[in-house]
Structure 1
Amino acid sequence: MKLFFKLFFGVATLATLALSQTIKVGTNATYPPFEFINEQNQITGFDIDLISEISKIAGFKFEIVNISFDALIPALKAGKIDIIASAMSATPIRAKAVDFSKPYYNTMNLFIKRADNKDLTKLEQLEGKKISVQLGTVQELAAREIKSAKVMTIDEIFGAVMAVKNSKADALIVDSSIGYGYLKQNPDLAEFLILPDGSDGFSFAFDKNKNKELQAKVDNAIDELKRNGTYDKLLIKYDLK
């Protein structure tokens, strides 16, 4: 009986340690409204709030690690972070290296040009044109599939937007979820095409086959947040609904 209690206490202690472990969440805080740095110099956004709500249900503490988008998966594979929460589209190519949570937001590829560009109206007209994209995104892949396109990869989406505004690029391909926000703020830009992005939607990422328990907890928490209305409240908060 004493041995049983010792074993039980040991298991309980390990469980407590697991719950108290601080999870490192990697993001690239240049992608409003999903992740960005606010006026108080704090990293915030839909993904950050969603992870915060998930942590309350799943029972873990977390800290945010802000790095470039193209460095997120390498950081995950190297064990420097435990989760990627950065509006990352779940694609078959990425799924070879990471495990994805169930999708929590669906988006499309939005094609944007300068409003005074009357010649650009369809995909075929982008052949041979300069296209700006954020480095490491599914939009970069889409741009590279366009025949003879000159793809400008830029670390931050703001820079990719500015490339079109300043006539350094003919068009921009961006997630519709944030692209429409930039269109509202920039009347000199205009949408001319929207297409599926070939992914299952935005998902949280975990190192391949190494964090199944945490992944399951995150999936269950996403379901619960959708059931109890918290998820919809966050969509409204960030003008995503």
Structure 2
Amino acid sequence: MKKFAKFLVAACVLVGANALSAEVIKVGTNANFPPFEYLDENNTITGFDIELVDVLSKKVGFDYEIVNMGFDGLIPALKSGKIDMVASGMSATEARKKAADFTDSYFVTENVFIKRASDDSIKTKDDIKAKSVGTQLGTVQEIAIRELKGIKPVTMEDPITVILALKNGKIDAAVFDTSVAYGYIKENPELVEFHKEPDGSEGFSFAFNKGKKTELVSKINDALRELKEDGTFDKLLDKYNLK
């Protein structure tokens, strides 16, 4: 009887553990933001953020499912419960903090302004007055260009669409975060940087619906610190040329 009781207790613990591990965290991302999230040659979502989520899932102990959607729809999807977490190069702005809980920042960037190398009319930020400036919808960079006086802000759903518009002369300049801007400049020698400035945010963080996953946020913060201390984080930065 005692053996049976011990077996019953052990079985209950096992069921409880399986119940906890059965929760799948739906991770929302916008896979048009290389090198943080993008579709590889096999049409698989990959990138720095995606690999970091994978490492964190193993370290913290959760299963996850990646959900691809438009960047501007990520916070609404978080609030409605369609996703549980955002991993998409998202900056923890004051406005977003009202709707979501953010982890500690894991990557800090700046706003980089780019133009066509052949456009001699733009040499400094002051030269974009009365010109059209594009960026991705729903980003910190959209906030930045809408605060500029005298320009024509243009927003598009995907960064690549902005780049194509710039190359084809449909807009005069574009603004992206450091890593994305330099990635496009490297791939498109006809584009050059002409200005760089702080983006006004605390940097990229993972987001969760406010008050819903506070324990998980704390565990991820602890895991991020450990990954930075043991060198795992630096290896990921090196892999995606983010240093």
Q: CA–CA distance in 2 between the matches of 1:7 and 1:82?
A: 32
Give aligned-pair identity as a percent.
51
Cα distance per residue 1:58-77 (max 9 Å; x no partner): 10111100000000000000
Q: CA–CA distance in 1 between the matches of 2:176 and 2:130?
A: 19
Superposed counterparts of 1:133-152, under 5 Å: 133-152=135-154
2:221 match: secondary structure: helix
Q: Does 2:80 correspond to 1:78? A: yes
Superposed counterparts of 1:1-241, under 5 Å: 13-241=15-243
Question: Post-superposition shift, 1:13?
Answer: 4.1
2:205 match: secondary structure: coil
- Contact kept, 8 Å, 1:126 with 1:146, in 2: the verdict is no
- Contact kept, 8 Å, 2:166 with 2:174, in 1: the verdict is yes
- Contact kept, 8 Å, 2:125 with 2:194, in 1: the verdict is no
Cα distance per residue 1:80-133 (max 9 Å; x no partner): 111100000111111111111000100000000010112212222222210110
Cα distance per residue 1:175-197 (max 9 Å; x no partner): 11111011111111110000000
Structure 1 segments unaligned to the other structure (5+ residues): none
- For the aligned residue pairs, the C-alpha RMSD in angstroms reads 2.0
Q: 1:6 to 1:77 in 2, by over 3 A?
A: farther
Question: Post-superposition shift, 1:9?
Answer: 7.1
Question: Post-superposition shift, 1:10?
Answer: 5.6
1:50 match: secondary structure: helix
Aligned-partner residue type, residue 194 of structure 1: K
Q: CA–CA distance in 1 between the matches of 2:195 and 2:123?
A: 7
- Contact kept, 8 Å, 2:133 with 2:171, in 1: the verdict is yes
Cα distance per residue 1:197-228 (max 9 Å; x no partner): 00000000000111101111111111111111
Q: CA–CA distance in 2 between the matches of 1:15 and 1:199?
A: 38
Q: CA–CA distance in 2 between the matches of 1:64 and 1:11?
A: 29
Q: CA–CA distance in 1 between the matches of 2:26 and 2:39?
A: 18
Size of the aligned set, in residue pairs, is: 241
Question: Post-superposition shift, 1:8?
Answer: 9.2
Q: CA–CA distance in 2 between the matches of 1:93 and 1:50?
A: 25
Q: Return the TM-score normalized by structure 2.
A: 0.93
Question: Post-superposition shift, 1:158?
Answer: 0.5
- Contact kept, 8 Å, 2:28 with 2:85, in 1: the verdict is yes
Q: 1:16 to 1:213 in 2, by over 3 A?
A: farther
Q: Return the TM-score normalized by structure 1.
A: 0.94
Q: CA–CA distance in 2 between the matches of 1:84 and 1:239?
A: 22
Question: Post-superposition shift, 1:7?
Answer: 8.7
Q: CA–CA distance in 2 between the matches of 1:165 and 1:171?
A: 9
2:176 match: secondary structure: strand
